[in-house]
Amino acid sequence: MELYSGHINKLIEELAALPGIGSKSAQRLAFHLINMPQDKVNRLANVMMEAKANIRYCKECYTLTDKDTCPVCANERRNHKLIMVVENTRDLAAYEKTNKYEGVYHVLHGAISPMIGIGPGDIKLKELMERLQGDVDEVIIATNSSLEGETTAMYISKLIKPTGIKVTRIASGVPVGGDLEYIDEVTLLRALEGRVEM
């Protein structure tokens, strides 16, 4: 027996499909939205549609932005000869919270995972190699400490080594299987400072 009417059930289903939202959270959000004033619901819907329409990849690092170049890449005070490679924009945000990293980033938008059919051509590796044609001193590989992250790190290292650019890997202050976005700033900073050459 259905507990709610069709529109409520549809709303709960759509919300529950979002990452990190279970059925109880989806119900709470659905009823919150239903009870919100119409102008606030319209504003939320418009913000979501505008974000979807206007957010794109930074032309340099491939993070998400609403401009051609993200604020990090556009900042002339950043060290553009030092590139940290991360799996996603959330990992970039986690490192930015440390307020200690002064280089720029390259966002892969995934990791190599043959088990689910993600190969090197499915992430932003070609774009990384194109960036390395410029003036780059060091590439810090900051992929997650998972099997996929380690596989990606080794693959990137093998691609870059012949170019003569220094390749380092963040230290193991980051636990194996841990996602960077959930790790505190101090641990991330220690991992960055204790990076090792690959």
CA distances from 176 to 9, 42, 191 (A): 39, 43, 12
Q: What is the DSSP letter of 117?
A: T
d(C-alpha 15, C-alpha 169), whole Å: 37
Looking only at the bridges linking them, the beta strands covering 196-197 and 56-57 are unpaired
Percent of the chain with pLDDT over 70: 89
How many other β-carbons are positioned within 10 Å of the β-carbon of residue 78? 16
pTM recorded for the entire structure: 0.76
Mean of the pLDDT values across residues 59-71?
94
Closest among 8, 59, 53 to 32, alpha carbons compared: 8
Give the residue with greater pLDDT, 177 vs 55. Answer: 55
Q: Domains in the chain and their CATH numbers?
A: 6-54 (1.10.8.420), 59-197 (3.40.1360.10)
pLDDT confidence bin for 48, thresholds 50/70/90: very high
Collapsing DSSP to helix, strand or coil, 79 comes out as: strand
Identify the helix (H) or strand (E) that includes residue 197: strand 196-197
d(C-alpha 91, C-alpha 95), whole Å: 6
Looking only at the bridges linking them, the beta strands covering 138-141 and 103-107 are unpaired
d(C-alpha 71, C-alpha 44), whole Å: 25
Return the percent helix, strand and coil in the chain, to nearest 5. Answer: 50, 15, 35
Cα 79 to the center of its chain, rounded Å: 20
Mean of the pLDDT values across residues 73-102?
94
Residue 1: the pLDDT is 44
Give the residue with greater pLDDT, 177 vs 81. Answer: 81
pLDDT confidence bin for 15, thresholds 50/70/90: very high
pLDDT at 158 > cutoff 80: yes
Collapsing DSSP to helix, strand or coil, 55 comes out as: coil
Residue 172: the pLDDT is 62
User: Over the stretch 172-198, which tens digit does the pLDDT of each residue have?
Assistant: 655 656 677 767 676 676 677 767 676
Mean of the pLDDT values across residues 88-101?
91
On the 0-12 / 13-18 / 19+ scale of CB atoms within 10 A, 133 is: exposed
CA distances from 64 to 20, 101, 141, 166 (A): 20, 19, 19, 27
